[in-house]
């Protein structure tokens, strides 16, 4: 469980960095507020459903250790969080839908990049092949 907390901390830091950039961009270019606002609402929704997924993974792992079976990873609840962020952003606040979707994919993209970089780090140098003698 320590690995997931380290990964979640890294993902949260990356997402907070993008939230900072969105706030900074909105302060510098206030006329683009509909784009930055949509991105910020999407990024907040993104980190919320990533935290929910991490909580579900930990919960299911605890159930599996205890010999019980979990109910699943709760896609509907994560989809509801994303839909709620989109509705609040677009319908209620009038922000750009494309910017909201861009914000919603920030955390999954950070997870993908961290996962790919950890695979590359674990395997070492790409020229290290099996059976080669040096």
pLDDT digits (tens, 9 = 90+) for 18-52: 999 999 999 999 999 999 999 999 999 999 999 99
Neighbouring residues of 5: CB distance < 8 A, sequence distance ≥ 6: none
Range from 12-16, 26-30, 72-76, 102-106 carrying the lowest mean pLDDT: 72-76
For residue 107, the tally of other CB atoms under 10 A from its CB is 25
* pLDDT category of residue 99 using cuts at 50, 70 and 90: very high
Section 105-134 average pLDDT:
75
At 118 the pLDDT is: 80
- The answer to whether the predicted template modeling score (pTM) of the entire model surpasses 0.75 is yes
112: number of CA atoms within 13 Å, CB side? 5
């Amino acid at each position: 469980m320590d690995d997931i907390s380290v990964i979640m901390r890294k993902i949260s830091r990356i997402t907070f960095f993008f939230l900072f950039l969105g706030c900074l961009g909105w302060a510098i270019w206030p006329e683009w507020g509909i784009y930055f606002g949509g991105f910020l609402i999407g990024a907040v929704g993104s980190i919320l459903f990533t935290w929910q997924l991490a909580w579900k993974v930990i919960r299911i792992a605890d159930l599996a250790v205890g010999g019980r079976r979990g109910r699943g990873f709760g896609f509907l609840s994560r989809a509801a969080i994303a839909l709620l962020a989109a509705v609040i952003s677009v319908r209620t606040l009038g922000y750009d839908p494309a910017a909201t979707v861009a914000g919603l994919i920030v955390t999954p993209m950070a997870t993908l990049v961290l996962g790919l970089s950890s695979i590359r780090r674990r395997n070492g140098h790409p020229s290290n092949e099996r059976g080669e003698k040096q």
